[in-house]
Amino acid sequence: MNLFGMKKHRIRSLWLLLLLLTCSVTVWAQGSSVTGRVSDEKGELLIGVSVQEKGTTNGTITDMNGQYTLKLSTGNPILLISYIGYKPQEVKVAKQKIVDVVLVEDVSSLDEVVVVGYGNQRKVSVVGAQSTMDVKDIKMPAASLSSAISGRIAGVVAVQRSGEPGHDESDIWIRGLSSLLGQSSSPLVLVDGVERSFNNIDPEDIESFTVLKDASATAVYGVRGANGVVIVKTKPGKVGKPQFSVDYYESFTRLTKKVDMADAYTYMDARNEAQMNTSGTLKYSAAYIEATKKANGLLPNDNPRLYNPYLYPAIDWADNLFNDWGHNRRGNINIRGGVPNANYYASLSYYGETGMTRNFKLENYNTQMKYDRYNFTSNLNLKPTSKTTVDLGFSGYLGQGHYPQSSTSSLYAACMDVNPVIYPLLLPNGTVSGINSQQKFNPYGLLARGGYYDEFSSQLNSNIRVKQDLDFWKWNKGLSASAMVAFDTYNSRKRKYNRNEPMYTFAGKTDENGIWIEDTLFDEETGDYLYSVLKEADGSLSLQTPEQWSSRTVYTEASLNYDRSFGAHRVGGLLLYNQKVYWDLNATDVIGGMPYKQRGFAGRATYSWNDRYFAEFNLGINGSENFSPGKRYGVFPAFGLGWAVSNESFWNPVRKYISFLKFCLLYTSDAADE
């Protein structure tokens, strides 16, 4: 007997056994699921808590009952539990199948700095009403950010008027609709401190998204902030090694509600019933209904030459004009990094969307709606000295859209207006069918034979901001000054092609039951259908005079800022001047061609004691050339007091249940003319 061989065999067996045990544990972990509930310290179940497997993209959220179920994909899994306002947790699963988690409120988050009008403030000291949104919530394939934020910020209403690619921006209301006719209800939108649209910004480029709601928070903007203020900041540079990030999203869209239209036979029965009740006659005879069923395969057809879908149509117009689904996608690539005195952020992104109108390949142009947009963003943050910072920003986009001459709403309205048995989609000779030259135009003709237009748009934004600390001496510690100049340009061009399409109908006759008389329908020599002309046209495409819009905006701003602590006392202040000059480069009259100017002054004074008691005064003075010289300026003051009750010593017994409670008293005054 070979003892060495036996020993070698035993060692191999042990290793094999260990390997099998390891594999079994790994397979058990990877193939198993874990479930549980997430609650706070009071036992309240939390909805929408993020539960993610560490080191992977595998994750889920808690449902309405605070429960989650997650299929594990790794060995020795660790769960990452996170929720806004609570401290994140890491939980080892091991062999547990049920893992319940209790989250603890993160009170320290109140010390973070938040965005306010013309600056930043500690969250705990803010007196006015504001809301911030996690930018992760808007990272989705959507052409307009105004549509992406819908339903995600309390008190903010976003109503989308159209779902067409590139035209899906929403109306935003923070304080409801204006009570005065002709007065805009839209909020003031500031991107990197400049009044700009945020609809065409790529979500990946956004650092923060803040909404200022009440008059105390928006008073420094004067009348421009009467409907609330939306403040968007793009990503700055970041000290560290270059970090590359790539994001790509795909999604499908469909009509919010597709109306179920009656089919041809239901329609004819309903129309007969209605007409019998009003005039005592039938619109469609029994013979006509029978002929329609023969032509469309519902009854045996003894004469296909006469009973066919051209003569007896049964058309689902919406199904013929619209696809069930649209498609959009969004991609972004960016880099971020730098050294302490020079850091950067740069990105390139693409957004593309196809609408739900069908593309009829037999036509000589594309009838499908589509939109493509290319974005770029670059921010450079320099620190030439220890007390000087320079921020440079460039951003913009190039967009192109293709659309039929008729809008989606008019096409859909035509599908509901034109009944399913009035005429066929096309006549046998390929021309558009109709019943007259003025009314009830064929929906297919509107989409595929009416022409199309292309839109081209571009936006370029640039700004430079210089900030200088002025705390050179002891008496002016906390004092700083800043200045900014921004230049924006916008261009848009629309190129329309109209098609003058002829329209025909059958020249045959019908009997008293509405049945086509076969001998009157066809040419005796050729056997082709005979047609009558409803509208004479050559069917050619003609280019209209292109429509063009261009504008330029120059914005300047200068401010003095103060922020200093004296023991338990903290004092802050702001004095600011700004001016905006706008040019309409395509104005058609002298007045419209003149530059439009706005000028404003803003002031703020804040005080807090021991993070318990707060006072804040805001003042905005706005002037506009729209008014007469003696009535150009308005004054908009606001005052607020705050008391953080939860920071008092007597609150300690209930701090476990209510971690933070603050009362605020606000006062605002109507504008007074200077």
User: What secondary structure does DSSP assign to 599-660, as a single string?
Assistant: EEEEEEEEEEETTTEEEEEEEEEEEETTS-GGG-EEEEEEEEEEEEGGGSGGGGGGTTT-S-
Instruction: State the pLDDT confidence band at 264, using cuts at 50, 70 and 90.
Output: very high
Phi, psi of 79 (to 5 degrees): -95, 135
Return the pLDDT at 550. 94
Instruction: State the pLDDT confidence band at 403, using cuts at 50, 70 and 90.
Output: very high
Q: Does position 287 have pLDDT exceeding 90, yes or no?
A: yes
CB contact at 8 A, 145 and 199: yes
Q: What angle do CA 597, 603, 604 make, to 5 degrees?
A: 145
In the chain, the amino acid numbered 270 is A
- Which tokens belong to 594? 């003149």
What is the Rg, in whole angstroms, of the alpha carbon atoms belonging to the chain? Answer: 34
Please give the mean pLDDT across all residues of the chain.
84
Q: Does position 184 have pLDDT exceeding 70, yes or no?
A: no
Instruction: State the pLDDT confidence band at 390, using cuts at 50, 70 and 90.
Output: very high
Specify the higher pLDDT residue, 333 or 666: 333
d(CA 557, CA 571) in angstroms, rounded, equals 23
Pairing of strands 342-354, 229-234: unpaired
Return the pLDDT at 672. 42
Instruction: State the pLDDT confidence band at 30, using cuts at 50, 70 and 90.
Output: low
d(CA 294, CA 309) in angstroms, rounded, equals 9
Q: Does position 670 have pLDDT exceeding 60, yes or no?
A: no
Q: Does position 15 have pLDDT exceeding 50, yes or no?
A: no
Q: For residue 349, which of 360, 368, 333, 326 has the smallest C-alpha distance? A: 333
Return the pLDDT at 439. 56
Return the pLDDT at 628. 76
User: How distant, in Å, are the alpha carbons of 122, 182, 216, 526, 627 from that of 673?
Assistant: 33, 21, 19, 84, 11
- Please tell me the least confidently modeled range out of 114-123, 285-294, 454-463, 496-505: 114-123
Return the pLDDT at 183. 55
Q: What is the largest CA-CA distance in the chain?
A: 117
d(CA 575, CA 412) in angstroms, rounded, equals 54
d(CA 360, CA 253) in angstroms, rounded, equals 20
- Please tell me the least confidently modeled range out of 6-15, 255-264, 515-524, 616-625: 6-15
Pairing of strands 503-506, 531-535: antiparallel
Which regions of 411-450 does DSSP assign to beta strands (E)? 432-433
Q: What's the mean pLDDT in 636-656? A: 86
Return the pLDDT at 6. 43
Which regions of 109-185 does DSSP assign to beta strands (E)? 113-116, 119-122, 130-133, 157-160, 170-173
Q: What's the mean pLDDT in 158-184? A: 71
User: How distant, in Å, are the alpha carbons of 16, 22, 33, 69, 81 from that of 29?
Assistant: 20, 11, 8, 14, 19
Phi, psi of 353 (to 5 degrees): -150, 140
Q: Does position 478 have pLDDT exceeding 80, yes or no?
A: yes
Q: What's the mean pLDDT in 284-302? A: 95
d(CA 120, CA 221) in angstroms, rounded, equals 15
Predicted confidence (pLDDT) per residue in 72-87, tens digit: 888 788 999 987 667 8
Q: 444: helix, coil or strand?
A: helix
Q: Does position 207 have pLDDT exceeding 70, yes or no?
A: yes
Q: For residue 68, which of 39, 94, 42, 40 has the smallest C-alpha distance? A: 39
As a whole-number percent, the residues of the chain with pLDDT over 70 amount to 90
d(CA 416, CA 151) in angstroms, rounded, equals 30
d(CA 501, CA 538) in angstroms, rounded, equals 7
Instruction: State the pLDDT confidence band at 468, using cuts at 50, 70 and 90.
Output: very high
d(CA 455, CA 371) in angstroms, rounded, equals 9
Q: Does position 477 have pLDDT exceeding 90, yes or no?
A: no
CB contact at 8 A, 634 and 628: no
Q: 109: helix, coil or strand?
A: helix
- Which tokens belong to 551? 């504008």
Q: Does position 511 have pLDDT exceeding 90, yes or no?
A: yes
d(CA 635, CA 603) in angstroms, rounded, equals 11
Measured between its terminal Cα atoms, the distance across the chain in Å is: 114
Q: What's the mean pLDDT in 112-116? A: 68
Q: 442: helix, coil or strand?
A: coil
Return the pLDDT at 420. 93
Scan for tokens 């056997």, then name that residue. Answer: 527
As a whole-number percent, the residues of the chain with pLDDT over 90 amount to 36
Q: What's the mean pLDDT in 388-414? A: 92
Instruction: State the pLDDT confidence band at 437, using cuts at 50, 70 and 90.
Output: low
Buried b (16+ CB within 10 A) or exposed e, 42-57: eeeebeebbbbbeeee
d(CA 221, CA 245) in angstroms, rounded, equals 36
Q: Does position 9 have pLDDT exceeding 50, yes or no?
A: no
Return the pLDDT at 529. 93
The segment with the largest mean pLDDT, out of 363-372, 529-538, 661-670, is 529-538
Q: Does position 285 have pLDDT exceeding 90, yes or no?
A: yes
Instruction: State the pLDDT confidence band at 296, using cuts at 50, 70 and 90.
Output: very high
- Which tokens belong to 305? 């030459």
